[in-house]
Amino acid sequence: MANEVQTITVKVRRADPDVNGGEATYQSYSVPLEPGSTVLSVLRHITENIDRTLSYYRSCRIGKCAGCRMVINGKTRLACTTAVTGDITLEPLPGYPLIKDLVVDLSAERGV
């Protein structure tokens, strides 16, 4: 008997300030859930295999820079260290200017 790959739904709040007045919509993606998946690895799967237009931030991938902070199922978490075990909803970090989709402008926080 072959192992069936579990599929999850990833619901992403999408918006681009330069398109449609920045109006936000939610887009859902069906993604295979691999053992050890993180939110970041799921986002990579989406951009590499389903939708290259989805924007998100990644840098250190080890939980040190905190650049990948976002709201994951209603709680602020790091995408690179948050394990995925089922369906998820992703939203940009509130309180910061939106650049696009899950990317916000953190320059004021970093003193830039």
How would residue 16 be classed by pLDDT, with cut points 50, 70 and 90?
very high
Window from 20-24, 53-57, 84-88 with minimum mean pLDDT: 20-24
Q: Evaluate if pTM is beyond 0.75.
A: yes
Q: Which one, of 31, 15, 6, 10, lies nearest residue 89 by Cα?
A: 10
How would residue 82 be classed by pLDDT, with cut points 50, 70 and 90?
very high
Does position 80 have pLDDT exceeding 70, yes or no? yes
- What mean pLDDT comes out for the span 87-91? 99
What mean pLDDT, rounded, does the chain reach? 91
**Residue 43: enclosing H or E segment and its boundaries?**
helix 39-49
Does position 55 have pLDDT exceeding 90, yes or no? yes
Does position 111 have pLDDT exceeding 60, yes or no? no
Asked if residue 31 lies in contact with residue 10, where contact means CB atoms within 8 angstroms, the answer is yes
Could you tell me which CATH class the domain 6-104 is placed in? alpha beta
pLDDT of residue 4: 80
- CA–CA separation, 23 vs 61, rounded Å? 30
What percent of the chain shows pLDDT beyond 90? Answer: 75
